[in-house]
Amino acid sequence: MAHILVHEVGPRDGLQVEQQVVPTETKLDWLGRLIRSGVDIVQVGSFVHPAKVPQMADTDELFRRLSAEPRDGRATLSGLVLNEKGLERGLACGVELFCLGVSASETHSRKNTGMGTDEATTRIIATALEAKKAGKEVQVSVQSAFGCGFEGVVPEARVMGIVAAYLDAGLDAISLADTAGHAHPEQVTAYVRRILALAPSARITAHIHNTYGVGMANVYAALDAGATSIESSFGGLGGCPFTKVAAGNVATEDLVHALQRAGVRGDIKLDALIGVARDVATFFARDLPGCVYKIGPISAGTPAC
């Protein structure tokens, strides 16, 4: 638990479904505070067509400006790419960690990328290897790994087939994404353990949505099974605009609060995360799904049990 990495995806996954576009300067303020908070990775944005996801239209500019300024914080800057063009753009503007993914749901894959799962797997692996050749860190994901809003149950064999293709290509930093929020703890535990049985040195991330209220339970199931990184979003904001029900993520401040109650990751500035979540809620003029930013954290001196 002491080595759990926190990957803040709010600036990308949190904002991508919002109709009200956030100004670039406001994003830079939020990003700077997240970077300084002590989280390990901050996902700045995604390299998608601005007509399809207007919130991500300034991703290149955000990376350029963040890369050009001295960084007060250790966070790695990540970006999501879905194809070769996205990689080209990311390499040109300073992405440090490339996140690439394939949906195990044929329907979701076509809605999200315009490609079927098999074609997407081939192209994403080739793109990921190009990023590695360029000296960049790479993480590959299986989206809709635990179920799909359109198709329902996604066969485990399909998920593990994509995982096996990644591992065969030498890509061992793997994220399991609960895009539709269908995961349950026993399923999360089983999938993480199966990957580690295939490749004990694999670095597994869990990207958990809280659509049906079991987000934190699934986070703990992933950690107990051997995942080493969790992706979360400020205030629990977010969701994929190309899935059937776009619902929020596990809230970063809720995750960090829980970890700190367990005596780990005290190096992350929880108050900074709460401050960002409150400002995001104020910007969108509504309550976000997260809990801790609204009610405040439990005092550090209060026993956990």
CATH of the domain at 186: 3.20.20.70
For residue range 145-190, list pLDDT tens digits in order. 999 887 889 999 999 999 999 999 999 999 999 998 999 999 999 9
Tell me if 302 is assigned to some domain.
no
Tell me if 300 is assigned to some domain.
no
pLDDT over 70 at 216, yes or no: yes
For residue range 37-57, list pLDDT tens digits in order. 999 999 999 999 888 899 999
What pLDDT is recorded for position 5? 98
Q: How far is CA 232 from the centre of its chain?
A: 6
Torsion, Cα of 228, 137, 280, 209 (10° steps)? -40
Angle CA 296–209–211, to nearest 5: 90
Global pTM value = 0.93
Name residues whose C-beta falls within 8 Å of residue 164's C-beta, 6 or more positions apart in sequence.
198
Tell me if 114 is assigned to some domain.
yes
What pLDDT is recorded for position 29? 98
Query: Can you state the percent helix, strand and coil of the chain, rounding each to 5?
Result: 45, 15, 40
What pLDDT is recorded for position 2? 66
Tell me if 147 is assigned to some domain.
yes
What pLDDT is recorded for position 73? 65
Q: What is the mean pLDDT of residues 97-116?
A: 85
For residue range 263-272, list pLDDT tens digits in order. 999 999 999 9
**Catalytic residue numbers, as ranges:** 240
CA pair distance 32, 211, nearest whole angstrom: 28
Residue range of the domain that includes 106: 5-295
Start-end of H helices in 40-146: 59-68, 84-93, 106-113, 117-133
Q: Which two tokens stand for residue 55?
A: 């919130």
Query: Could you count the other beta carbons within 10 Å of the beta carbon of residue 294?
Result: 16
Tell me if 153 is assigned to some domain.
yes
Tell me if 45 is assigned to some domain.
yes
What pLDDT is recorded for position 151? 80
Tell me if 304 is assigned to some domain.
no
Tell me if 67 is assigned to some domain.
yes
Counting the structural domains of the chain, the total is 1
